[in-house]
Amino acid sequence: MANATPIEPDKELEALLEEIDRQHVVLEFAFYQSESPQNYDSHFDAAYEFLDASHKRFQQHYATIDFHQYPLAKNHIFKWNPDELIGSRISFAEFWGSDDVAPTPLGDRAWSIPNVDGFKTAFFLPPYGLQKPEDRNVTLFEKLKDCLFGDAQENDLVIYSWSNQCSGYFDAGLEWWGAFLWTIARLGTSTITLIGASSSD
């Protein structure tokens, strides 16, 4: 893929992502350099690179399985069909999802959990819950938002949402929690940020 080249995050962002991971956030991040980061082809290439790398990791793992010990593992097929990778331009509001991330008490030790419908709920409502304290997670989220989007206005962001039926990467999330893949470019920069999320219990 020629329109998006993988790059490493800077040290500050890398440290922040490591801290976020320790809090049990299940979002994954990847970054790509592009000469035309607002174009669909560049976003497609970033999504393709991410999912293709996921497929290659599975193949490497699959090659190490002892099928005499785990015979059912032969039945695990990791789908990867780039022809089914389709992106749709979405608004910032669609990407962001609900601001409601607080469980609602229903009674004695019973809670209603908001649906995971976008970036914010995916951050705050992973399958196993976030590590405490809660104010630390709010601070991390604000830092992440600043690192990824800076002072960009909503209209300064080009965001694509990608089909979640094309790759085995999405299988776990499609069971119930959610399966998402977004690519975001900020006007005036040459970077495409990819955010993936697919998890289960």
- What is the reported pLDDT for 115? 83
Residue 78 Cα distances to 47, 75, 122, 131, 176, angstroms: 17, 10, 24, 31, 18
Amino acid at 66: D
* Measured distance CA(108)–CA(9) in Å, rounded: 45
* Measured distance CA(6)–CA(180) in Å, rounded: 20
* Measured distance CA(119)–CA(159) in Å, rounded: 12
- Of 24, 3, 56, the closest CA to residue 140 belongs to 24
State the 10-residue block means of pLDDT for the chain, 201 residues long: 86 96 95 95 97 86 62 70 97 94 67 81 89 84 95 94 95 90 95 94 66
- What is the reported pLDDT for 48? 97
The verdict on domain 5-198 having CATH code 3.40.1000 is yes
* Measured distance CA(192)–CA(35) in Å, rounded: 10
Torsion angles phi and psi, residue 137, rounded to 5: -70, -35
Q: Cis check for the bond before 133: say yes or no (omega within 30 of 0).
A: yes
- Per the confidence metrics, is the pTM higher than 0.75? yes
